[in-house]
Amino acid sequence: MPLARMLRQVAGQMLGSPACGCWMPAPPLRFLGTSPRQIPADASFHSASFSGTDQPRVLITGGLGQLGVGLANFLRKRFGKDSVILSDIRKPPDHIFHSGPFIYSDILDYKNLREIVVNNRITWLFHYSALLSAVGEANVSLARAVNITGLHNVLDVAAEHNLRLFVPSTIGAFGPTSPRNPTPDLCVQRPRTIYGVSKVHAELMGEYYHYRYGLDFRCLRYPGIISADSQPGGGTTDYAVQIFHDAIKSGKFECNLKPSTRLPMMYIDDCLRATLEVMEAPAESLSMRTYNVNAMSFTPEDLAQEVLKHIPEFQITYNVDSVRQAIADSWPMNFDDSNARKDWGWKHDFDLPELVTTMLNFYGSDTRIAQAN
DSSP structure class, residue 82? G
> What number of other Cβ atoms are within 10 A of residue 112's Cβ?
16
> What number of other Cβ atoms are within 10 A of residue 42's Cβ?
6
> What number of other Cβ atoms are within 10 A of residue 248's Cβ?
21
> Rounded to whole angstroms, what are the CA distances from 51 to 48, 78, 243, 280?
9, 12, 42, 10
Beta strands in 40-122 (DSSP E): 58-61, 84-88, 102-104
Is residue 224 within a helix (H) or strand (E), and if so which, with residue range? Answer: strand 224-226
Residue in 35, 209, 40, 38 with CA at minimum distance from that of residue 127: 209
Who contacts 131 (Cβ-Cβ below 8 Å, separation ≥6)? 11, 15, 17, 19, 139, 142, 143, 146, 147, 194, 195, 234
Angle between helices 110-119 and 150-160 (to 10 degrees): 30
What's phi and psi for 315, nearest 5 deg? -130, 135
DSSP string, 309-333: TT-TT-EEEE---HHHHHHHHTS-S
Annotated catalytic residue within 110, 128, 195, 291:
195
Angle between helices 300-308 and 352-372 (to 10 degrees): 60
Q: Is 195 a catalytic residue?
A: yes
Query: Rg for the chain (alpha carbons), in Å?
Result: 20
> What number of other Cβ atoms are within 10 A of residue 284's Cβ?
8
Catalytic residue IDs: 195
